[in-house]
Amino acid sequence: DIQMTQSPSSLSASVGDRVTITCRASQGISNYLAWYQQKPGKVPELLIYAASTLQSGVPSRFSGSGSGTDFTLTISSLQPEDVATYYCQKYNSALSITFGQGTRLEI
């Protein structure tokens, strides 16, 4: 099975900082990658799909890039409401949909 590894597992940043989270697949997955945000005690929400397409309604400070095995989620200017755990997810095969282990973002 293809493994998804996120880094870092946690990070602390300041309001206004540029934040980058990475996700690496153990094998190529083209652009079948999504990013989700899960605020404390809340339901996961889709931020980005197809590696770089912003879901409707998501603020433009969020962006995604990458293809193949290496992907990044970038928050261009961190806001207090961005405190959350972020998950990547691969969906190149319906037989092995896999989430990363999560990145906890604190301010």
Partner 1 sequence: QVTLRESGPALVKPKQTLTLTCTFSGFSLSTTGMCVSWIRQPPGKALEWLALIDWDDDKYYRSSLKTRLTISKNTSKNQVVLTITNMDPVDTATYYCARATDGPYDAFDVWGQGTLVTVSS
For partner 1, the binding residues (CB under 8 A) are: 1, 32, 34, 36, 38, 43-46, 49-50, 55, 87, 89, 91-102
Give 80 or 94: the residue with its C-beta nearer to partner 1. 94
**Nearest-approach distance from CB 4 to partner 1, in angstroms:** 10
Give 68 or 102: the residue with its C-beta nearer to partner 1. 102
Q: How far is CA 102 from CA 5, 15, 56, in A?
A: 9, 21, 22
Give 12 or 96: the residue with its C-beta nearer to partner 1. 96
Give 17 or 32: the residue with its C-beta nearer to partner 1. 32
Token pair 């972020």 is found at 86
Residue burial 8-38, b: 16+ Cβ < 10 Å; e: rest: eeeeebeeeeebbbbbbbeeebebbbbbbbe
**Nearest-approach distance from CB 55 to partner 1, in angstroms:** 7
What are 63's two structure tokens?
A: 């962006």
Alpha-carbon distance of 24 to 7, in angstroms, equals: 8
Contact 34, 55 (CB under 8 A): no
**Nearest-approach distance from CB 14 to partner 1, in angstroms:** 26
**Nearest-approach distance from CB 15 to partner 1, in angstroms:** 26
